[in-house]
Structure 1
Amino acid sequence: MSGQDEYQDSALRPYVLTGGRARPSRNTIGVDTLLVMADPGPPLPVSASRQERALLRMCARLLSLVEAAAHLELPVSIVTILASDLVDSGHLTARSGIPEATRPDQELLQEVLDGLRRLL
């Protein structure tokens, strides 16, 4: 592929996709946030972008934000803004990762690992 045939994106596109915003409306959506279509979700407005429609279709099944960004071939920061808008409008539900309280204790895991090593 020659240099002229390669796809080049401009800074204008993300700016247009997010309505000129650089930050999402909520700070609770991270790369590990799981997104799923709200059941039943309201219909998307006619003004919804192609990317918002694609994101909503993808989220018919549970999907992480970072996976959605990869499928859409968009920066995670842009998809975070789009997902945040869809959560705000009631089209998507965001689920955070494993709550801190349910994660195993680091010391306990180390003790288990040390015990397994002693068995070998």
Structure 2
Amino acid sequence: MRAEAGAPHEWLDADAGPVVRPYALTGGRVRSAVDGFDLVAYVLAERDADPVAYPELQPEHRRLVALAGRPVPVAELAAALDLAVGVVRVLLGDLVDRGLVTVHQPPATPYLPDNDILKAVVSGLRSL
């Protein structure tokens, strides 16, 4: 494979994709230090969050803090960074440990609907 003009390496061209693999972003970790975050859990940066005070943080950490200036779901953060949700969960765990963001889990539902109710809803939708 020959590099395009201006490419820094011969092995890298426009089709190479991301140079840094997800496992490199998380240091090989697949689980967050904090309990798993629901996809619809909201993340909010602390008011005095200053990721610059933590030089060990990666650019993705800093971007997460910036995006979380308003309440934003975990799934939306993953889409904004174009990263897998598992990677974002690990990175968020790092930020929670440092007190830069808080994660607000959705309330647990007290019960699940009965299967008969779900079947009736599906049947009603099909009849439309």
Work out whether the TM-score is over 0.5. Answer: yes
Partner residue of 1:8?
A: 17
Give 1:8 deviation, angstroms. Answer: 2.5
Q: 1:106 deviation in Å?
A: 4.4
Alignment of 1:1-120 (within 5 A): 5-9=14-18, 13-41=21-49, 43-44=50-51, 45-101=54-110, 106=113
Paired with 1:21 and 1:75, the residues of 2 have a C-alpha distance of 13
Q: List per-residue Cα deviations over 1:38-78 (Å, max 9, x = no partner).
A: 1333x221221110010100000000000000000000000
Query: d(CA) in 1 for partners of 2:94 and 2:56?
Result: 13
| Count of residues paired in the alignment | 104
Verify the 8 A CA contact 2:36 2:89 in the aligned structure 1. no
**Relative to total residues, which structure has the larger helix share, 1 or 2?**
1
Separation in 2 of the partners of 1:70 and 1:38? 21
TM-score (norm 2): 0.68
Deviation of residue 36 (structure 1)? Answer: 0.2
% identical equivalent positions:
25
Q: CA deviation at 1:97?
A: 1.2
Deviation >2 Å, runs of 4+ = 4-10, 98-101
